[in-house]
Amino acid sequence: MNDSNIGKEISGYRIEAVLGRGGMGVVYRAEDVELAKKVALKVINPTMAESEHFMRQFRREGRSLARISSAHIVSVHALRETSLGLTLVMEYVDGNTLKDRINSGTIDVPESIRICREILLAFKDAHSVEVMHRDVKPANIMLTHAGTVKVTDFGLAKVHDPNSDLTVTAGVSGTLKYMSPEQVQGLNELDWRTDLYSIGLVMYEMVTGRLPFGDSDGGYTIQKKIVEGRLDPPTIYNKDLPKALVQFVTRSLAKDPDRRFQSAGDMLAALDQVEVKLGLREPTTLTATREIGVSKDPPKRKWVPVIGVVAILALLATGYFLWPRAALGTLVLESSPSGATVFSEGRSIGETPLTMDSLSFESVTLTLQLEGHTPVDTTVLVRSASVARVVVSLAPVSVGPLTGSLRIDSTPRSAAVFIDDELRGSTPITVDAVPAGSRSVRIELDGYKSDSRFADVEPGSEPEIMVTLQKVGVASGSVMVRTTPAGASILVDGVPRGTANRLIQDLSVGSHTVRVQLDGYDSAQQRVRIRGDRQENLTFVLEQLEVVPRVGQLDIRSIPEGGEVLLDGQSIGSTPVARRDVPEGEHVVVVRSPGYRDYQETVAVGAGETKQVQAELEKVFGIVQIRVKPWAHVLLDGERVLDEVGAVARPLQVSANEVHEIEAQNPSLGVRCKRTFQIAPGALLPVFFDLDSSVTLPVASIDDETNEGFSGAEIIINNKSTGKFTPESVEFVGGCSYDVVLMKEGYQIKSRRITVANGQSEPISIRLGKQD
């Protein structure tokens, strides 16, 4: 890239090359002349220095990086004013981004694990000093030519001040496709687990070469999928991924933060286990961290319970005790989360964290238990003459029951009940702890035909099965039951017998009541007489019930008022707005207004319930750079904002996403030049007025009825009379917009907004209609 600063020495740094450039600034590769060391200089665009929010974000990035000491995070050397402006002096990384590496092809599993490990080491260091990144993505992760990870771009970092109850935030955004559900929902209380979710997505992308979103998915679809939907499992895009790695990624991407890894350390420990299961590393062996004294008196050997990690850890002994001078060990036991109870041979011996001294190197079997988490059983060998620290990661158990119950009765009773071919008792019976799913049920009684069917068991449910058994050798018949529409439930004498259209067999001779029912329709029933060895037929035409919609109300307001409201993507008016026919369930409310950032909230509305949505809209801005030749006062939307603007560009902050009118006025030249524009958030828009550029154009008036030109209409430009009458030539400044009005007695006054282009020769013609 061409840049006039290249080759210059500025504030002690020799500029060598441009590494990147954007609307917010530029990053240079430079040499620290004094230290003869390569550095990266991140320099703010001078026009952005007018934005207090941007300056705060830039300083936040420097301070966030300065808090962290990590081999895998780009270090900051200084934040200083130079002749280039405010400059962040950082470590120079010679390499490419992880995004570049992914774009070149899927990364194999061992290499992906290695990269993920170094990313987690970076975030373990960052989180240890209360710094969150909140914009983790492959484009913000550098890989040196040696393959070492360097995390960069902490511009959206969040820093918690331990001496304050307040959280200082440098931004509330991120990159949508890598956001956690809580980040998409705009929750204020984000924690470290937001970064860990994004790291899980980075791992997903490394091993599959893509993200779990469709190429055509828009922003709303992606947000809904992150918060409510189901992300595609990575095996859809790479069927050869090992199960252990898939489980690691799946847990990383849990929608509930409590079901993810709770820290970068937890995630590293889980990654260790993935490598062990894949045969990429040996099980962890702990070594001594410091020497301890040797006892003068011979110790009594005893069993001491300790805690292991999820896999069996061995603290291997270096040798046998030398009697009578034996070296003893110390073990510091912790768990994540803490507070777990430690059991040895069924006896509780304390809670984590726990420190145990004077340990011999004998093995012991232990159990670690914490409510709501899966217990851990392990065997540990204690190494002598050492102090070791063991951290146990406890996995949360699944929320909610995974079993249900079945209530089974029969006529006659005392029939044997089999569930999935296992005898569970006799009728009447309630069978608990039945695994959820479709279960086979068989009921048998001597002298009667057995009854076999399937029962659907939902977690926490208790379905009931009632059976009338038929005697062996007794005459029976059948009935074919049809319904319109099909699929209605069939009950014979109150006992469920499947769904229509269905042949019901083994009915005893005599009268039976057949009842059919279907959601949304009136139930119906008929009596049928079974005559034996004969099929009867019943047909039911069900009448649809009038459905009373279950709706609630949404009252939506905004500050300021007048914002457009979209309910589930459909515009329903402007704030304040009340919608009284909102279907029961969850809905996405978006409030948008020109010049403001879109506000989004997911609202759960119950039947008969009124929910309030109060949207406080946040202003968004862009920067307009204005130059004028020779000079002019500048008005924005009719208000004078800058005086005597000349050839040197003057920055002006304006609200984004709305149409503005900018006007340059030069009283000495008698020139007023207008233009309209719209700017995107954070954008930089150059505007140049050349008031020395003139275009002379004829102005003509045309009769709207006769389609012929006529003379004598007064020409008024921008509410000021020119003293000329049509047809006449008028001098304009090229590149400007004008309000041209023609007035003549007997005709209606007609105004027209025109934009005059430089070099334009086409005349200005305005049609006037006669007054009634």
Residues designated as active site: 135
Place of tokens 């000495």: 668
Tokens of 264: 């970068």
Give the whole-angstrom CA distance, residue 255 versus residue 265: 20
Chain centroid to CA 625: how far? 35
| Helix/strand/coil for 672 | strand
**CB-based burial of residue 696 (10 Å sphere; 0-12 exposed, 13-18 middle, 19+ buried)?**
exposed
Give the whole-angstrom CA distance, residue 552 versus residue 605: 6
Torsion sign (Cα): 63, 68, 71, 77: positive
| Helix/strand/coil for 402 | coil
Measure Cα distances from 604 to 224, 553, 583 in Å: 14, 11, 10
Give the whole-angstrom CA distance, residue 530 versus residue 335: 69
Cβ atoms 682, 48 nearer than 8 A: no
CA geometry: angle 623, 626, 629, nearest 5 deg: 175
Neighbours of 349 (CB within 10 A): 15
DSSP symbol at 292? -
Cβ atoms 649, 642 nearer than 8 A: no
Torsion sign (Cα): 307, 312, 316, 320: positive
Order of all β-strands in the sheet with 585-592: 570-574, 564-567, 585-592, 599-605
**CB-based burial of residue 226 (10 Å sphere; 0-12 exposed, 13-18 middle, 19+ buried)?**
buried
- Tally helices (H) and strands (E) across the chain: 8, 57
| Helix/strand/coil for 578 | strand
Tokens of 230: 């189901």
Give the whole-angstrom CA distance, residue 554 versus residue 568: 13
Cβ atoms 369, 341 nearer than 8 A: yes
